[in-house]
Amino acid sequence: MELAVAFIGAFIVGGLLCVAAQLVVDVGRLPPPTVMVLSVSLGAVASGLGLYDPLVKVGGAGATVPLPGFGHVLVQGIIADVSRHGLVGLLGGGLEAAAMGVTAAVLFGYLAALFFNPKV
């Protein structure tokens, strides 16, 4: 039962974030790459305002898998590091927290491109 709630929560939160992004593309007429950049930045700001954590509690992966979740991870990492180490945390905390995602993106991205070609 708990598991079912988690999946439904993820579906709805993730789905709604994507709907918001889609509306910015279709109604706001912004190109998708711009919307990606905006999403990460807005996610970071929302996280700083304490708005993103409740979303993660309800949505789980539905909040962390879409790109605003990336901004959230960066900000939480920075805040944790700043709290611990002061000003220097501003420089290290973000990427420390996002290290796995960024490394995976470079590694798997590179490997996939190495083994595959655009389909003919």
Q: How far is the CB of 1 from other proteins (least distance, A)?
A: 13
Which residue has 């590179």 as its token pair? Answer: 110
Decide: residue 16, CB within 10 A, 0-12 exposed, 13-18 middle, 19+ buried.
middle
Sign of the Cα torsion 54, 42, 7, 56 reads negative
Q: How far is the CB of 26 from other proteins (least distance, A)?
A: 5
Cα-trace Rg, the chain: 16
| Helix or strand run (H / E) with residue 99 | helix 89-115
